[in-house]
Amino acid sequence: MATLFEAAGLEEGAPRPLADRLRPRRLDEVVGQDHLVGPDGVLTRMIEAGSLGSLVLWGPPGTGKTTVARILSEATDLHFEQISAIFSGVADLKKLFEQARGRRATGTGTLLFVDEIHRFNRAQQDSFLPVMEDGTVVLVGATTENPSFELNAALLSRARVLVFRALDAAAIDRLIARAEALEARPLPLDAAAREALVGMADGDGRAALTLIEEVWRAARPGEVFDTAGLQEIVQRRAPIYDKSEDGHYNLISALHKAVRGSDPDASLYYLARMLDAGESPLFLARRLVRMASEDIGLADPNALAVATAAKEAYDFLGSPEGELALAEAAVYLATAPKSNAVYKAWSAAMRAAKEGGSLMPPKHILNAPTRLMKTEGYGAGYRYDHDEPDAFSGQNYFPEPLGRPSFYRPVERGFEREVKKRMEYWAKLRAERNG
């Protein structure tokens, strides 16, 4: 009868996970990061020079950051120490620094690899500065978050940031081929399922190897899975997307710019990406309303109505039916004529309001409900526009110190073309009537 450990595959001598067995031992074995580890890559040059400075490795999960740190330590004869910012505190860091000083006294340097370095708070990050400056450790930090936002400026000034890229399809294919060579057996997937597995990996090499292991475990002798069979086995891995971090901001930025750039297909793609990853549909509805105001404005006055109607439709229908209304709004906004004239006018008006302070409106447009106010000239000389020719008096409505600034400048697109004609006509009448 098998023991609990044997049943779990943990008995002595059991095969190590595929990701561990395929872990690269040299830089030229790392896939998907040729800009860093290729013949002219920055890490290749560092190793050739025999000099390694502190680094921050920034990129998605499963792109080789930990592996590269180990390779760097071996290539430069540095003692490798690894900690996770999730499980370590100041006491752990002090102990590691003291050990590094002891090794340094005997002529051995230390590469300190800190996984999830962005998890350390500002004070903890500052504790690295002295040991980085005096050479006690070569710090190599790994992070999935934007270092510009998550790491101290002082730490960043002492370390070089290297960007790791999500693995593309070619890199994932290379991993599959290596796994097949190591196991001396083909992956039991047809061509379409193999392509689907690459997509499910979502640029994560470790995830790809985990999926490969799951397929081999599930396959019976001679069995080959199609796409449906693959999805049933692995239950499809969810996209990498954190609604509070970079993935969120990157995709909403891409959606906004696709709409602004009048690309309905890209707009639908990024909308689908975010909905598929679990983003709040009401957040997306709010952003569509913002796009209607910021990037379309009065070039198509219906854009705002369509966007707000999509929000109401989603409120009424919920998911998944209501998502089609959001898609309709995204396509409408992407194909609408564009103008940011109202957006720019509003920004200029806000600046003028803040800079001008509490300027008094001209007295002729103020109401005079009391005798004192009439005596002070409130309402004197006001001309009722509906009683004027063309229902336009041409009076000045700005505080006198401002003169007559121009904030809103409509463009020659969509409905704003008509608005521009009206404004030019009124400007002509104003000049005629005010001499």
pLDDT at 12: 54
Strands 160-163 and 79-84 turn out to be: unpaired
pLDDT at 141: 94
Architecture of the domain spanning 33-163: 3-Layer(aba) Sandwich (3.40)
246-335: which CATH topology?
A: Zinc Finger, Delta Prime; domain 3 (1.20.272)
Architecture of the domain spanning 169-234: Orthogonal Bundle (1.10)
Q: Are 115 and 84 in contact (CB under 8 A)?
A: yes
CATH 1.10.3710 domain position(s) in the chain: 358-433
DSSP-assigned states of every residue in 255-290? HHHHHHTT-HHHHHHHHHHHHHTT--HHHHHHHHHH
pLDDT at 241: 58
Which two structure tokens, joined as six digits, stand for 100? Answer: 């590094």
Strands 138-143 and 79-84 turn out to be: unpaired
CA distances from 190 to 58, 209, 233 (A): 35, 17, 14
358-433: which CATH topology?
A: post-AAA+ oligomerization domain-like (1.10.3710)
CATH 1.20.272.10 domain position(s) in the chain: 246-335
Residue 34's region, left for phi above 0, alpha for psi from -120 to 50, else beta, is alpha
pLDDT at 5: 42
| Three-state DSSP state, 83 | strand
pLDDT along the chain (435 residues), means of 10: 45 73 91 92 90 91 93 93 88 92 92 93 90 92 88 91 91 94 93 89 90 92 90 70 65 93 94 86 93 95 96 90 95 96 93 85 89 88 91 90 90 93 93 82
pLDDT at 164: 93
- pTM here is 0.65
d(CA 249, CA 179): 35
pLDDT at 246: 63
d(CA 190, CA 186): 11
Name the residue with tokens 């399809």.
169
CATH 3.40.50.300 domain position(s) in the chain: 33-163
pLDDT at 7: 44
Residue 349: CA count within 13 A, CB half-sphere? 11
